């Protein structure tokens, strides 16, 4: 989501005549996009912003803008703490950026933290895009779920879906500009359109699937409580929607899930996994997990480990719980000591790693369909892409393959990617057997 916001900022600045600088030192405007979902990224954001003091000393005319969740959370306190920051731009401020920069150019220091619920125009150009083949597309903002540990509803505001007409127009624009994969973004995509009476998420997916030239669609994040049978059907019937789902479970213990206010039990979650696998036996399922939520006992943690075993996730992101401002969990008493959280995290990560390695190794000797996203980090003659389950696959190949679907025979499973050789191109021209 933050990456998408960075793209929006880059497009907007490009439309005003700005060009990307090669480093902060060369920049007239430095925009720092921040995340505060956990304590760690917040510390990183603070130290990065702090380090920009030297820039302002060396280049007094340069403007420093802090955007994103930290800006929303702290507002004008950031102006007080850092006298080299010129503009604090809250999470709803991007459509106002150009006007605010004009005011800043006149020497003002400003903090904009209103929730405007305006999405503004997004110019779907390639500026700032991490990859022109695979593009993000935000379909909704904010969240109404108020999971007790989560700062998102407080810093991003209430859930609001973008009108389907705008989403479709942007999707078509992105595909016309070379995108072959779209990743639809929202905190809870399964509730798209329900609040404002627009089309539902499965219907939106169907309409986006109809865009000619688009090869793959993904979406994130799905909230387990709102994952519907209709969505599963839509995925199972589509040849464009990747058979991959990120379904954050957070904990395997009913006690903890209740305290987290997640709105489902362990059994509810397991039933949805079963339904997904009944309809799509090969679906790749990934998750997010939190250890050390206040009051989490050893039994609760053991329930999380057993759920991870039972579901057999392809992979998972796991985090130590950290108190976030404004949240209900921050006010809970029974905090888990840091040492216990670290031990639980290490144990969980070990289990996830073992499972992930087993999944990776099983693919050696199999052919996988890869959407080629561009040159790999190894440089010329080495291409990179993702298979349907989102794993990175590297293989020898030429630049012109970017944007095509190819078939790759997996020869080696490395910790973070698969390596192989191409056997088919999308146009069915056989390369080797
Ligand atoms: N909307 C998504 C999650 C967005 S936040 C969902 O509902 O699943 C991304 C992840 O950060 C969460 O899934 C959670 O695992 C983690 N997270 C959020 N708040 C946290 C906190 N206070 N401490 C530790 N991890 C947290
Ligand atoms: Fe946070 Fe829960 Fe909303 Fe996800 S669903 S953004 S975890 S409040």
Tell me: the pLDDT tens digits for 249-289? 999 999 999 999 999 999 999 999 999 999 999 999 999 99
Same domain, yes or no, for 18 and 108? yes
The pLDDT, as a whole number, for residue 433 is: 44
The answer to whether residue 121 is domain-embedded is no
- Between CA 418 and CA 387 the distance in angstroms is 10
The phi, psi pair for 68, rounded to 5°, reads 85, -160
- Between CA 343 and CA 358 the distance in angstroms is 23
> How many Cβ atoms from other residues are within 10 Å of residue 124's Cβ?
22
Ligand 2 centroid–CA 47 distance in Å is: 26
Same domain, yes or no, for 233 and 262? no
- Classify burial at 104, counting beta carbons within 10 Å of its beta carbon; exposed 0-12, middle 13-18, buried 19 or more: middle
User: Which residue's alpha carbon is nearest to atom 5 within ligand 1?
Assistant: 37
Same domain, yes or no, for 187 and 290? no
Ligand 2: residues within 6 Å at CB? Answer: 143, 145-147, 150, 152-153, 187-188, 223
Structural domain boundaries, residue 371: 367-431
> How many Cβ atoms from other residues are within 10 Å of residue 264's Cβ?
20
pTM of structure: 0.94
Same domain, yes or no, for 94 and 21? yes
The answer to whether residue 120 is domain-embedded is no
- Between CA 100 and CA 313 the distance in angstroms is 45
Give the ligand whose atoms come closest to the C-alpha of residue 142: 2
Tell me the per-residue pLDDT of 8-66, one tens digit each, with 9 for 90 and over.
Answer: 898 889 888 999 899 988 999 999 999 999 999 999 999 999 999 999 899 999 999 99
Ligand 1 centroid–CA 147 distance in Å is: 9
Q: How many CA atoms lie within 13 A of 211 on its CB side?
A: 26
Best of 3, 4, 35, 37 to mutate for ligand 1, by most ligand atoms within 8 A of CB?
A: 37
Same domain, yes or no, for 214 and 141? yes
Residue that finishes a domain, picked among 362, 385, 402: 362
The answer to whether residue 206 is domain-embedded is yes
The answer to whether residue 157 is domain-embedded is yes
Same domain, yes or no, for 256 and 336? yes
- β-bridge pairing 134-138 and 181-185: parallel
- Between CA 19 and CA 26 the distance in angstroms is 11
Ligand 2 centroid–CA 200 distance in Å is: 20
User: Which residue's alpha carbon is nearest to atom 11 within ligand 1?
Assistant: 37
Distances (CA, A) of 14 to 21, 241, 371: 11, 32, 29
Look up residue 4 and give its two tokens.
């998408």
Same domain, yes or no, for 178 and 283? no
DSSP state of 337: P
Q: What is the mean pLDDT of the chain?
A: 93
Percent of the chain with pLDDT over 70: 96
Best of 41, 290, 338 to mutate for ligand 1, by most ligand atoms within 8 A of CB?
A: 290
Among all chains, which residue has been given the structure tokens 């057999």? 312
Percent of the chain with pLDDT over 90: 88
The pLDDT, as a whole number, for residue 11 is: 85
Same domain, yes or no, for 238 and 251? no
Ligand 2 centroid–CA 133 distance in Å is: 29
Residue that finishes a domain, picked among 219, 242, 265: 242
The pLDDT, as a whole number, for residue 431 is: 52
The answer to whether residue 378 is domain-embedded is yes
pLDDT at 415 over 90: no
């Amino acid at each position: 989501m933050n990456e998408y916001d960075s793209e929006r900022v880059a497009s907007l600045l490009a439309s005003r005549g700005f060009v990307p600088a090669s480093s902060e030192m060369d920049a007239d405007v430095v925009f720092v996009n921040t995340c505060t979902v956990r304590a760690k990224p917040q510390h990183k954001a603070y130290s990065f912003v702090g380090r920009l003091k030297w820039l302002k000393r060396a280049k007094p005319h340069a403007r420093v803008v802090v955007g994103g969740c930290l800006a929303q959370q702290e507002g004008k306190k950031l102006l007080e703490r850092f006298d080299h920051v010129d503009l604090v731009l809250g999470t709803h401020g991007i459509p106002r950026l150009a006007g605010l920069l004009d005011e800043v150019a006149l020497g003002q220091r400003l903090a904009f933290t209103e929730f405007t619920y305006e999405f503004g125009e997004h110019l779907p150009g390639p500026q700032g895009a991490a990859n022109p083949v695979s593009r993000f597309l935000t379909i909704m903002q904010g969240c109404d779920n108020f999971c007790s540990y989560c700062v998102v509803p407080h810093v991003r505001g209430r859930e609001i879906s973008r009108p389907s007409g705008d989403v479709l127009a942007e999707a078509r624009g992105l595909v016309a500009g070379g995108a072959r994969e779209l990743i639809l973004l929202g905190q809870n995509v399964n509730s798209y359109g329900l609040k404002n009476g627009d089309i539902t998420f499965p219907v939106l997916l169907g309409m986006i699937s109809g865009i000619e030239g688009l090869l793959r669609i993904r979406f994130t994040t799905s909230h387990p409580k709102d994952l519907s049978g209709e969505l599963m059907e839509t995925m199972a019937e589509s040849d464009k929607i990747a058979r991959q789902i990120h379904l954050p479970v957070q904990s395997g213990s009913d006690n903890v899930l209740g305290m987290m206010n997640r709105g489902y039990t362990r059994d509810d979650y397991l039933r949805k996994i079963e339904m997904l696998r009944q309809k799509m036996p090969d679906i790749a399922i990934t998750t997010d997990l939190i250890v050390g939520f206040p009051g989490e006992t050893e039994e609760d943690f053991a329930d999380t480990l057993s759920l991870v075993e039972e579901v057999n996730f392809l992979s998972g992101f796991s985090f130590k719980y950290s108190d976030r401002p404004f949240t209900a969990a921050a006010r809970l008493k029974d905090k888990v000591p840091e040492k216990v959280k670290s031990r639980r995290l290490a144990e969980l990560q070990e289990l996830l790693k073992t499972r992930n390695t087993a999944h990776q190794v099983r693919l050696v000797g199999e052919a996988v369909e890869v959407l080629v996203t561009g040159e790999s980090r190894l440089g010329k003659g080495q291409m990179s892409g993702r298979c349907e389950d989102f794993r990175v696959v590297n293989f020898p190949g030429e630049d012109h393959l970017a944007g095509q679907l190819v078939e790759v025979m997996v020869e080696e499973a490395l910790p973070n990617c698969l390596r192989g050789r191409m056997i088919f191109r999308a146009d069915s021209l056989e390369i080797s057997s």
